[in-house]
Structure 1
Amino acid sequence: MLVSCGPASGDAGSEGPAQTGETPATTPAAHGPLFLGPGDCSGQGRTDVREVPCTSGKAAARVIARHDGRRTTGPSCPAATDFVLHISEHRPEFDEDGDGSVPRGYACMRNLEPPHPGDPGGGGGPYTVVGDCLRDSGEGQVKEAPCDGSGAHRPEFRVESAVDERSRCPASTDLFVELPSADAPVGCARRL
């Protein structure tokens, strides 16, 4: 999640699973001992995810990291992650919140072919990083936008650097954003 800490403050999300980098997955029959384990590939769908051989023409993305539990309390995905699949199992008898699924973990996914929204300037992915572009989405929120202008919205800011505290941003900074790094959690963004 991206939080604007600049002129106006608020949470910044994206407009759908593919843009937030978070997509739910179910557990159909797996090819290996672990459904979507590290190095495994998934097909093109993001709602009914299937594990497929990476050599298959149906393979669209590869697991670059896999963690148990909930993403909010687990390890972070690598910076190169294009999207995150939340993997759950349909077992109503063990359901803790009545939605019919039991959380099993999450897979950090990288598309096999471009585009790579998780790359700096790509316009998406689960994290905002130096090199990403942002747009004002209203009510003090900002969202990522592709820096090349290929998205539905024109980019308005670019994250130029990351620092450990706001006072270390250059004087030319127009917007401060929260970054996932513990060492440099403040992004210094300039208006384009």
Structure 2
Amino acid sequence: MGTRCALLLAAAAALLTGCQASGGAEGSDARTSVASRPSGHGEVFLAVDECSSRGRTGFSEVPCTSERAAARVLARHHGEAGQGPSCPARTDFVLHISESRPAKDEDGDGAVPRGHACMRNLEPPHPGDPGGGGGPRTVVGDCVYSAGRREVRETACDGSGERTPEYRVASAVRSRARCGPATALYVTLGGSRPVGCAEPVRAATSSPS
């Protein structure tokens, strides 16, 4: 499953709560929980621009030139995702890193603090790209479908996902009043332009390029 977002039909009166990330073991979805497995590469475990492998037992830090390298760190934050800065828009998935006691650590005290790393796959697919059907954030260009209970979930715009896209986020604005007349629902995006104006897929794709 991809990112879940609360929705509001355009005719309703108030905007609901924002996006929440859903779990996924292969990294194609928004969140993946792992225990840190330091390998001695770099002073900080999975620092920005460092790479990780992906295996059955979890993720390990490896040189980006390694054949095992599968994803690169775009941003690294302490604490839980959602409690600090947002991951970059191109993030494919989030690694949640638990404490461990490696030989090398960030400040020499023998422990890696809990935190999370915003990851991007080195090779396609990139579910975090606009229309990709996943990632921890909903952005302009993403497609969603109704999941019931006034909630939507992301799906690939090209129809390759498990669910057919019903709406496409056409723009991000500061308030609902700035959405265009074709808007069928509002999706909470967060950031400085928190309102996503979503149009029915047919209307959004049939406009002249």
1:84 partner SS:
strand
Unaligned stretches of 5+ in structure 2?
102-111, 202-209
Q: Is the 8 A contact 1:6 1:177 kept in 2?
A: no
- The letter of the residue matching 1:5 is L
Residue correspondences, number: 181
2:177 partner SS:
helix
Task: Assess, with a 3 A threshold, how the Cα gap between structure 1 residues 167 and 47 changes in structure 2: closer, same or farther.
Answer: farther
Task: Assess, with a 3 A threshold, how the Cα gap between structure 1 residues 75 and 14 changes in structure 2: closer, same or farther.
Answer: closer
Q: Is the 8 A contact 2:90 2:120 kept in 1?
A: yes
Deviates more, 1:150-159 or 1:102-111: 102-111
Structure-2 separation of matches of 1:85 and 1:47: 14
Q: Is the 8 A contact 2:93 2:128 kept in 1?
A: yes
* 2:147 is the alignment partner of 1:140: no
Structure-1 separation of matches of 2:20 and 2:38: 32
1:74-131 deviation digits (Å, cap 9, x = unpaired): 111111111111111158xxxxxxxxxx961110101000111111000000000000
Task: Assess, with a 3 A threshold, how the Cα gap between structure 1 residues 103 and 35 changes in structure 2: closer, same or farther.
Answer: closer
Out of 3, 8, 19, the residue aligned to residue 5 of structure 1 is 8
Q: Is the 8 A contact 1:174 1:190 kept in 2?
A: yes
Out of 163, 167, 176, the residue aligned to residue 157 of structure 1 is 167
Q: Is the 8 A contact 2:34 2:58 kept in 1?
A: yes
Unaligned stretches of 5+ in structure 1?
92-101
- The letter of the residue matching 1:69 is G
TM-score by length of 2: 0.79
* 2:83 is the alignment partner of 1:73: yes
Residue in 1 aligned with 2:23? 16
Q: Is the 8 A contact 2:21 2:31 kept in 1?
A: no
1:167 partner SS:
helix
Q: Is the 8 A contact 2:9 2:184 kept in 1?
A: yes
Deviates more, 1:72-81 or 1:4-13: 4-13
Residue in 1 aligned with 2:37? 28
Q: Is the 8 A contact 1:179 1:185 kept in 2?
A: yes
2:99 partner SS:
strand
Q: CA deviation at 1:151?
A: 0.6
- The letter of the residue matching 1:43 is S
Structure-2 separation of matches of 1:3 and 1:151: 20
Out of 98, 113, 127, the residue aligned to residue 117 of structure 1 is 127
TM-score by length of 1: 0.85
